[in-house]
Amino acid sequence: MDNLRSTATALLKAEPAWDVAASRARTLLLVIDPDPQATGLLDDVDGRLDVRVCASAAEGLLVAGATRPDVVLLRADLADVPAPTVVHLLDHCCELPVIVAVDGEHPELAGAALEAGAVACVARPYRAAQLLALVSALRPASPARDGDVVRCGPLELSPDARTVRLRGSLIPLPPREFRLLHFLMAHEGRVVSQVQLWEAVWGGTAPSASNTVSVHMRRLRRRLGDDPRRPRLITTVGRSGYLLQAPSE
C-alpha cells in the first residue's frame, strides 16, 4: 500500500487540476466501485456527464492522476484501500471533491470518510437524479490567482506567491486551506458563514449535511497553531459562522 500511496501521490500532484478541468466541455465523474451497477450510471446520465468507472481504489487513484475528474464518487467499503485513505489522497493532493457512497450494511463508514475530507454522502444503490444535482454543485470553479498582499497583524498572505507567514515564519498550506484563509483575512473582523465560505472556496452550493468546511477549518487552525479547543485567531460564532481577528503581536 505504501508503494501505491507514493505512486498515486506523485501522479495527483503532477499537474494542476484546474487547467485540465477547465478544458473539458462536460463534467467528468470518476466512479470507484466494483459493483456492475456502477457501470449502469453510464446509461443513466448519458449526455449530461462523462463517467469513468474503476473497479478498485488502486485503479481509481491512478486514473484520477491521469484524467483529473471534476468529482469522484467513491464506494465506502472497498476491499483494497480504506476509503478514508483514498479521500485524503484525492483531497489533499489535488483537491478533488469526493462523494462517498454507503450501503445499508456499512453506515458507520460514512463518518470516517467525511472526517477525512469527503464533501457529501449518498446511499447505494445510486439514484441518477441525486448524483446529477450533487455533481453539478460540486464541479470546481477556477480560483482567483492575483491580488495584493493581505495582512492581519503578524499574519501575512501573498496571493501571487502563494505564501503565508505568521510572525515572519512560513506556514505551508494546501491550496484549499490557502483560499479559505485568504477569504477569512479579506473579511477580517466580520463574521462569515459556512455558506459564504463554500461558495468562495469550493465554487458552488454546499450539499446538505456536509461537514467539509468545519473539517478544513480544523486543519487550518492546527497549521496556524490555533488551539482547536480555545481558538484565538479563528473563532466560531454561533453554529455556522467564523470570525478571523488579527492575533496579538
- Domain with 159, as residue range(s), is 150-244
Tell me what the mean pLDDT of segment 107-129 comes to. 85
What's the confidence (pLDDT) of residue 143? Answer: 47
Residues 6 and 36: beta-carbon distance below 8 Å: no
**187-199 per-position pLDDT tens digit:** 998 999 988 888 8
pLDDT for 220-247, tens place per residue?
Answer: 998 998 887 788 889 998 877 899 987 6
Residue 185 grid cell: 483575512
How many domains are there within the chain?
Answer: 2
**Pairing label, strands 120-123, 241-244:** unpaired
pLDDT given for residue 242 in this prediction: 93
Q: Is the CA virtual torsion 120, 123, 125, 128 positive or negative?
A: negative
**Average pLDDT estimate for 32-50:** 80
Which segment, 12-16, 20-24, 222-226, is predicted with the most confidence on average?
222-226
Per the domain annotation, does 43 fall within a domain? yes
Question: Does 61 lie in the same domain as 14?
Answer: yes
Q: Are residues 41 and 69 in the same domain?
A: yes
Pair (14, 34) in one structural domain: yes
**Do residues 210 and 236 share a domain?**
yes
Does residue 209 share a domain with residue 126? no
Q: Evaluate whether residue 249 is within a structural domain.
A: no
Look at residue 99 and give its three-state secondary structure: strand
Q: What is the pLDDT of residues 122-171, one digit of tens each?
A: 888 888 888 888 887 776 554 444 567 899 888 999 988 889 999 889 99
What gap in Å lies between CA 183 and CA 150, rounded to an integer?
10
Task: Report the share of the chain in percent with pLDDT over 70.
Answer: 81
Are 197 and 158 contained in the same domain? yes
What is the rounded average pLDDT of the residues 76-94? 87
For residues 125 and 9, membership in a common domain is answered with yes
In the listed set 91, 117, 138, which residue is the last one of a domain according to the structure? 138
Question: Final residue of a domain: which of 84, 103, 138?
Answer: 138
Is residue 163 a contact partner of residue 170, using CB atoms and an 8 Å limit?
yes
CATH number, domain of 224, equals 1.10.10.10
CATH of the domain at 122: 3.40.50.2300
Distances (CA, A) of 1 to 9, 14, 59, 110, 228: 12, 20, 13, 22, 31
Confidence of residue 30 (pLDDT cuts 50, 70, 90): very high
Would residue 88 count as lying in a domain? yes
Same domain? 21 vs 110: yes
